[in-house]
A and B are shown apart, each in its own frame.
Chain A
Amino acid sequence: MTNTNNQACDKANNHKVAHVQLTKHRATTGHIMPKGSVLGALVFLMVSAAGGIWLMQNSINAYYIQTYHTPSPMASIDNPAWRLGGKIGNELYARYGVMTGHIAKFNELQVANFNANFIPTPTAKQIQQTADNPIITEPMSADTQQDALDDRQAKIAHSLTINSSQKVLFAGDSMMQGIAPHIQKHLQSLGIDSVNLSKQSTGLAYPKLFDWSKTIKEALTKDSSIKVLMVMLGPNDPWDMPASDGRYLKFDTAEWHTEYQSRMADIINFATERGVGVIWITPPNMKKAKLNQQMMILNDVMAKELDRHLVKVIDSRPIMGGVDGVYHEYLSKDGKQIKMRTGDGIHFSVAGQKILANQVQSYLIINNQP
């Protein structure tokens, strides 16, 4: 009987609390929180989307190509009113570029002033760093070089000889972003500066998105102390790509090969004509079957072009544990299994980055004479 009474009492209390909760909920949602017009919000969303696409059409076209590897459907719209939006967008970007250019110039002046007045001279700096970090690699004697290398290799080795007043330039995608800092640390310990321009999601296929040829040429022209260029590109490239005349070249056709190789040659020739040595690292195997197949094709295309130049080619596949075109996540070394890649099957683990970086930097010949 008591139990029944308690249950009835609980039930009544529960109803009371429920009523309070519902009232409170209605108070907070229905009365205090201001309502808005769904139609107004929808119109704003649609007009903003349309206006944004109109103004940013060039950026969206570039994004579309990079994401879906076919020309954007909007690229073929040839209406003056439509094109006007693109022009306005470009003008806005240009003005923003001018503004950031001023800021960059201001900062460059401050950097130059600080480096000139508050940091020891390069010679003093080098002496200090040499004292802190004795040079590890002595320049190879001519005899040793002749014994060890054939003429081609000797020329390549010569082009990769660098001293403490010279710099290394890194160019590449997210893979290079992974390994460059490790090589930079090594070089820094030897008193050698470097410039790392690597940028994720870039390659040679879509220069409208990011133009590596232009970027590298500008960097080499601006800074004559750059002695070695390291390049690692590829995984963003194996798709249909626009040629200079606007036509789309189908991946793995003769035209595509020729165009891609000409873009590589453009960079390599510009560097080698200026006495800049080149290390070109070709991409590793990939986990996804389709991408792996594409990488094998791209590796062949690259190898054929690289063979025509006096550059050091580093095939990253065996270094990363891949064998015969087969992706391996682990490298077997000294009886140990070392995880070389991240879960996405593309990028490198930290251990993988370090192992590849060690291999790459071992080809640089450090000359302790400035």
Chain B
Amino acid sequence: MFSFLSVEFALLFIAFFAIYWACRSKPAWQNMLLLGISYVLIYLMAGVLAVLVLLVFSVLIGAIGQVLSAPNAKHKKLWLVVGVLFTLANLAFFKYYEFFREHISQVMQMQGLDSTHLVANIIFPLGISYYSFQAISYLVTIYQGKLVLPKLTLWQTLTHFSFFATISAGPITRLTDTKGLNDITGNPCGMHAQWQTSRPRHIIMPTLAFALILLALAKKWWLAGYLADQWVNPVFANPTGFHSLEVLAAIYGYTLQLFLDFSGYSEMMVAFGLLLGFRLPMNFNAPLLAHNIREFWDRWHISLSTWIRDYIYIPLGGSHHGFVRTQLNLMIAMVLSGIWHGSTLNFLFWGLLHAIAIILLNVGDLLGQKITGNPKGRNFLTSTGIFGQVVGVVVTVHFVVFAFVFFRATTFDEALMIFGALFGNHHITWTNNPMYLLFILAAAWLCYPMARTLAIKTAPMIAKIPSVLIYPLLFVGFMMVVIFAPSGIPGFIYANF
């Protein structure tokens, strides 16, 4: 399969980059070039079905958007509902077809009916979850009248939904600036003005962009690939055959693999955006240093969690109807988030676990506030000082790590088998040295806050180093990653969602 990590993509991108910037004085032409390359890449990655589904969907949503944004539009609410329902139906059909097909087939067989004519398999169109989310955001934003700049043309809308730097696995972009959704410099980054600009675009911080690509390759290709090949996949495939400590290393390793894989991917997309003159939102902000599970969701897959906040939690009433109703709204939002990740019960349970954790945190904060009279109701434990912060980080990360077992396992029984192996496999010989990985993970976790602070502090100094020195260093870094990375081109975990 054609991949963002392939030689073919690298060469195609270089050619596109040259043509794109040759049209620098014409942003409208650049938009059309982006539309063209995006559809070509979607075709190469996922075939003609994905292209057709995206095209038809984008045209219909774009048309509804045009109706909604007309100056004297009538029945606006009805059009919004139609647009959202169409988006959800389209997403549900492709995402949950297999789940429902099996059940329909079983029911038909029980009734003695022939189920062999049900379409056997529908290929999941690339990026459908992400552009569906963008479509709902697009329709609601227009409906709410938040856009005062000229409305997007149909071509701009098509480009917004298909942009290759966001379609495969996000980040989920919005038309308008959004609280919590910021670019790499911490500024809001709504796409509406970026699509509409008539001023020539500029390549933005190219050395930083290349450094991000290098970081992304190191995270995703080398480290996540190594963890998957050497530690995670063998154990999750056959947990009964590994010692408890090896199972523990694999469980920790999976969370790290997931983080490195997805944050690496997101940073690579942000870098492509910068190289093309766009500011895309950052999707991760050191989530494994979160002090509590609420903060974890403020830092993990940010474009999804802010989307759930704005389009599920707040419409349900948010925190405006009392404590109990707030917890119920949270529960619904988190369970829906779980179901979105997949149609199996494992994902539902994973969402439920996170919902329970957030509710317990809220209850704990409330109790702590009442018992001690501490006015800082939220983040009570964190506000107690360094000890509370450390306990908070340790508990949060371990909750996240063990909950991800249900995310990774394909069935509930398989997840239980992994926990069974974790607690029961003391008598099995080692195949690999788990202490080696556990030591590296612990050291990395302890050093991570310092390394992050150092990187932020030194960034201005590094920015002053002349490009003539930075570029050769980046090249050496690229070569090192290519040599260190496991053979083969890795898949993209989140593209499957």
Contacts and interface: CB of A to CB of B under 8 A. Distances in A.
Counting chain A CB atoms within 10 Å of each CB, the highest count among B237, B428, B463 belongs to: B237
Contact of A36 (B115, B124, B205, B483): B205
Contacts of B482: 52, 56, 59
Interface stretch (B13-21, B82-90, B286-294, B373-381): B13-21
A254 B122 CA distance: 39
A210 B486 CA distance: 13
A334 B139 CA distance: 50
A334 to B, nearest CB: 11
Contacts of B430: 110-111, 114-115, 119
B121 A329 contact: yes
A49 B475 contact: no
Contact of A33 (B185, B411, B463, B478): B185
Interface stretch (B192-200, B312-320, B324-332): B192-200
Contacts of B487: 210
B369 interface: no
Interface in A34-63: 34-38, 40-42, 44-49, 51-53, 55-56, 59-60, 63
Contact of A38 (B188, B189, B203, B238): B203
Interface in A126-140: 128-129
Given A41-B206, A44-B471, A63 B197 contact: no
A343 B177 CA distance: 39
Interface string B226-252: 000000001001101100000000000
A45 B105 CA distance: 53
A201 B229 CA distance: 14
A28 interface: yes
Contacts of B209: 41
Contacts of B120: 329-330, 339
Interface residues of B, number: 69
A343 B121 contact: yes
Interface string A1-40: 0000000000000100110011011101110111111101
Contact of B436 (A22, A51, A107, A119): A107
Interface string A82-103: 0000000000110010000001
B433 interface: yes
Given A18-B149, A181-B238, A49 B193 contact: no
A309 B436 CA distance: 43
Contact of B205 (A33, A49, A194): A33
Contacts of A329: 120-121
Contacts of B410: 350
A258 interface: no
A214 B187 CA distance: 55
Contacts of A316: none
Contacts of A330: 116, 120
Contact of A201 (B234, B275, B488): B488
A40 B204 contact: no
B427 interface: yes
A29 B191 CA distance: 12
A302 B342 CA distance: 40
A110 B433 contact: yes
A91 B188 CA distance: 47
Given A22-B149, A29-B279, A37 B206 contact: yes
Can you list the 5 inter-chain pairs with the closest CB atoms, starting with the nearest? A181-B237, A36-B206, A107-B433, A25-B193, A41-B206
